[in-house]
Structures are given as C-alpha cells and as structure tokens.
Structure 1
Amino acid sequence: MDALLMCGGRGTRLDTAVEKPLVELCGRSMFDRVVDALRDSCVNTTYAVVSEHSARTRARARERGVRVIDAPGEGYVADLGFALERVDRPVVTVVSDLPLLQARHVDDLVAAADGGSCTACVPVSLKRRLGASIDDSLVFDYRGTDVCPTGLGVVAPAPPESTPDSVSTSDPVTTPNSASTPDHSEPDSTVYLSTDDALALNVNRPTDIELAEDRCA
C-alpha cells in the first residue's frame, strides 16, 4: 500500500517563516518525522503532494527520495482528489502537521480498514485536555461524542458510481481493540476512534508547536 503525504497548503494559521511542513520540532521537521513514520510502517511508497505554495517542501521531498505529485494548491480536498487520480487504492492519506505520528498508528489503521476506507479520529475532549487547537468545522457527533479527524486515513478503491475525488471525513466507526459493528449508512467507510495523545496534536497554531515539542523524541 502507498501513502499520500499532504503538504501543499499555505499554512497561514501557523504564521511561520518557513513552509509549514518544514517547521522543526526537537531539531527535525514535521515533514521528515511523518516520512520516517511512513517508511517504518507497512507503506511501500510515499508520495508528497505539494503545490506552488510549498516549493521548498518539494525540494526536501526529493532530497529524501520521496516521490512528488504536483497538485493545483486549491485546498486540501481539491489537492487530495487530484492526487487520488494518480495512485492505486487503497492508499494511506496523512497530513504533514501530524508530527508525532508513529509507524504503529499507520499499521493499526490499515489493519482496521481491511481493504476499505477508514478515518482516524480522536475525541474533542482529548484535544481540549491537551490544550491542542481544534478546527470546529471538522467536528462531528459519533454516538453522542464530539470527535474530529486527525488527518490520517485510508481511502479505498472508488465504487463504479463514485467520482475519484469523493472522500468522506465523517464516516461510520470501528474502534481499536473492539469488535463493534460499523454503521452501514456508509458501507465502504469506517472511523477508527483513538485516544492516543500523539494523534490528537495537529500543529496548526504556534501553541501547538510547544505542545508537540513537549512530547517529541
């Protein structure tokens, strides 16, 4: 299975002097951290999805031997749809601002997906406890609990009637270490619910950098 590492955005909320994926935590860029986690996982090939907004990240990807997909830079959903048309599925998708990602997170999610689509989510209450920033537009209810996507997922092959860029971020649920039955309103998708602190820290604001550095190795 391959992976799409999404790193073509502007990163305006972080407001740093370098491109967002190249922000360093404990001496290593977020881009390098995610690449290393993917390489230690079951992923075979990683593609960095870049754009005109991330020219230096493109250069860093080539230095690391990471294949590059040049997307339009028109936003996450548009760039992901563009990239999905250029790789085989199922494929792992991950954002570059998830710097505490570990190989086991990827492997566990791929196992839970079992050839289908799967979105890793965390409870909003966990992010609040950590003091991490929350994008309210991504929050949705799952069985009475507010959850939000982490930016890590698996996208399955599109059914014949679907368009290549039809990607859901609020799908039914499969929780780790459980035998719960997915909600079949979206039979090709599940949500993998995690309470791991590492998956709850997306670096979107300066305060997130401090939180991640307190936990990075």
Structure 2
Amino acid sequence: MIGLIMAGGKGTRMNLDNEKLLLEYKKPVIFHVVDSLKESNCFSKILALTSSNSPKTKKLLEENNIEIFNTNGIGYVEDLTLVLQSINDSVLVTSGDLPLLDNEIIKKIVSNYDPKKTWTSILVTNKFLISLGLESNYFVNHDNQKCNYTGISLINANKINSSQNLHENYIIIDDKRIALNLNTKEDYELLGAT
C-alpha cells in the first residue's frame, strides 16, 4: 500500500501569509501527517503531492527525503486523478492538514481496507464534528445521518485505471485525530486549545 499526502493546495480559506501546511503545532503540520504514515509501518512508499501553490512545503519535504509527485495544482480532484492514473497499487490518501493524525488511527483505517471496493471515504458524523466545535461544508448523508469527509480515503488504484464506474463507499470513524482539518484560522486556534 502507498501512503499519499495531498500537499499542493493553496490554502486560500486560511488567508495566511505563509503556506498552511507549514503552520506550527509542535512541528510543521505536514510532518504530523508524514510521521504518522511512517510510524504506522503500513506503507511500501510514502508520496507527497505538491504543486506550484506550495513551493516552501515542497522544498521542506524534499529536504527531509520525502518523495514528491509534482502536479499542476489545478484542484484536489484533478491532482489526485493525475497521480492515481500512474499508480498500480492500493492507496491511502490523506490531506496534509490533519495535525492530530497519529500512527494508531492510520493502522485502524488501513485495517478497514477492502480491495474489492474501489474507493472508500472515511467520514465523521456531523454531530461529532459539532461536539468538537468544528464545522465543514463537505458532507454526505450516510447511514441515515449527516456525515463529513475527513480528507482520508482508501483506494484500489488498480480498479481506477480500468473503465469501471467509480462507486464511493463510506466508513464512519468518529475520532478527533481525523476530524480536525485546518481549513480556517478558527480551526488553527482550536488546535492550540487542545
């Protein structure tokens, strides 16, 4: 399985002077994600998707010997599609802005991987998100409840390269380690309070 970190976004919602993934929470946020994947020992390779939107993040990752896949930075879906077309393996995709991520939650998520399913998105319930003081605009109704995307998916890239229709599956894991994405300054302030 390959661990894929989405690290090429603009972070425009944060309205920052610096790149979002370089924000500090004991160490740059991107390294909480990198280290959790490394320490889980679940991956044959860890790959970070970068773009011209995140030159400082790319440079820092390269300086720390993290393999880079450079995209044109058009958008999340376009960048992810580009890399998935070049991979012939199982993939865990994670957003680079999950500062509470650790190796234990990564192992738990990977243990849910089913190669028969092309795409499985990891969700948290909206009720759980609100209980943490968070909110998100990216939701789906699943299992008779409003749920939010975490930015983590399990993908069988072998099936994506074929001409099969893509069916998205869902798994709910209400855990704050995957619930807190840094999308706004308020999210970052909340992180400081944890």
> Same fold, TM exceeding 0.5?
yes
1:162 aligns to what?
164
**Is 1:212 matched with 2:162?**
no
| SS of 2:99 mapped into structure 1 | coil
- Code of the residue aligned with 1:206 in structure 2: it is K
List structure 1 runs of 4+ shifted beyond 3 angstroms: none
Instruction: State the match for 2:36 in structure 1.
Output: 37
CA distance in 2, matches of 1:132, 1:88: 36
The CA deviation at 1:146 is: 0.2
Equivalent residue runs for 1:62-211 within 5 Å: 62-115=62-115, 116=117, 117-135=119-137, 138-156=138-156, 157-158=158-159, 160-162=162-164, 186=167, 189-211=168-190
Percent identical: 27
Gaps of 5+ in 2: none
In the alignment, is the contact (CA less than 8 A) between 2:105 and 2:177 conserved in 1?
Answer: no
Contact 1:112 1:118 in 2 (8 A): no
**TM-score scaled by length of structure 1:** 0.82
Give the structure with the higher percent helix.
2
Paired residue secondary structure (2:48) = strand
Alpha-carbon distance in 1 for matches of 2:132, 2:109: 23
RMSD of aligned C-alpha atoms? 1.6
Question: C-alpha distance in 1, partners of 2:23/2:13?
Answer: 13
Q: Is the 8 A contact 1:7 1:96 kept in 2?
A: yes
**Any idea what SS the aligned residue of 1:99 has?**
coil
Query: Mind listing any 5+ residue stretches in structure 1 that lack a counterpart?
Result: 167-185
CA contact (8 A) 1:133 1:204 kept: no
Q: How many residues are treated as equivalent by the alignment?
A: 189
